[in-house]
Amino acid sequence: MTKLPVLSSKEVLRALRKIGYQIDHQTGSHIILRNENPPHRRLTVPAHKPIAKGTLRAIIRQAGLTRDEFIALL
3 domain-assigned: no
46 domain-assigned: yes
Number of domains in the chain: 1
Nearest 5°: phi and psi at 49? Answer: -140, 105
- Sheet with 42-46, strands from edge to edge, namely 21-27, 30-35, 42-46
pLDDT of 63-72, one tens digit each?
999 999 999 9
4 domain-assigned: no
pLDDT of 20-70, one tens digit each?
999 999 999 999 999 988 778 899 999 999 999 999 999 999 999 999 999
Q: What is the rounded CA–CA span in Å between residue 54 and residue 74? A: 18
Q: Are 41 and 64 in contact (CB under 8 A)?
A: yes
What is the pLDDT at residue 37? 80
Q: Which domain holds residue 42?
A: 9-73
pLDDT value at 6 more than 90: yes
For the whole prediction, is pTM greater than 0.85?
yes
